[in-house]
Structure 1
């Protein structure tokens, strides 16, 4: 470059550029928090809208179910199915499989122990648990 005698070299950043950079940085710092809050609130709003839509769907489903329960034939069918009701003159029955499929013999043994304990009075089961706790502490 040509140097002109008597003129000083200009600094790379002038005071105006420094002030402009400082103003821009402070604007970014000032607007960062509100922008983050805005984005957070937008996501909260969308989550609340999704919840409201889900609630509307549940309400619609419950309205349809209530309408079904208004039908006397549906009520009769539910009484027959759930409560095993029968109409006058009918003979209700329930079929039970005499040989239920067993998965393992150990699970059958484990299932019979709670039934035996359930047949005992409460004080007998308490005494059995005390005896069991005493026998395990003596084995240690």
Structure 2
């Protein structure tokens, strides 16, 4: 009878009914659960924070009691926030740096042009240079001189060939150009 009180029944050797065995097995967990429920439970101690600790393992939650997945997600969000915080000013800095470099390049080009113009100014300060430029570019002559222009036989044809057909037709009025384009006589 002591065995019956603990939830076990004695088996007889001749008891070989499989249905009876299954029923006996099905009753065992219920009896064990009832026995556990009847035992008094010790009071649960709560930590100072007022929250109960999970019974799955001590220390797995870390300082903020987060699981590893949640900690990784929070870390990823912090890293993304830092990346965005740094990316925008960095892009602005790089853009401004490129603008400064282009302005410095322009400044060096302008200084080189300024030097060339200063040299040209000093050349034109000489009256002989001014006279030579006037003769060459403007075809001016001094009072009392007779200008001569020598044209070689090939010079006139070269000047006609140098002007394009568009330049030749541009001397005509627009209505003449239109009529020539319609009739086909212009090209």
State the TM-score bracket (shorter-chain normalisation).
0.5 to 0.7
Root mean square deviation of aligned Cα: 3.9
Larger radius of gyration: 2
Q: How many residues align?
A: 116
Q: Offset at 1:65?
A: 0.8
What is the correspondence of 1:45-84 to structure 2 with a 5 Å cutoff?
Answer: 45-84=100-139
What is the correspondence of 1:1-140 to structure 2 with a 5 Å cutoff?
Answer: 8=57, 10=60, 13=68, 18-88=73-143, 90-100=145-155, 102=157, 132=179
More helix by share: 1
What is the alpha-carbon distance in structure 1 between the residues aligned to residue 89 and residue 72 of structure 2?
27
Partner of 1:3: none
**Unmatched tracts of structure 2, length 5 or more:** 1-54, 62-66
What is the alpha-carbon distance in structure 1 between the residues aligned to residue 135 and residue 101 of structure 2?
45
What is the alpha-carbon distance in structure 1 between the residues aligned to residue 82 and residue 123 of structure 2?
61
Structure 1, residues 57-92: CA drift from partner, whole Å, max 9, x if none?
111111111111101111111122112233455433
**Unmatched tracts of structure 1, length 5 or more:** 1-5
Structure 1, residues 1-36: CA drift from partner, whole Å, max 9, x if none?
xxxxx8749588265555444322211111110000
Q: CA separation of 1:90/1:102 partners in 2, compared to 1, >3 Å: closer, same or farther?
A: closer
What is the alpha-carbon distance in structure 2 between the residues aligned to residue 82 and residue 129 of structure 1?
33
Provide the TM-score with structure 2 as the length reference. Answer: 0.47
Would you identify which runs of 4 or more consecutive aligned residues in structure 1 move more than 4 Å?
A: 9-12, 14-18
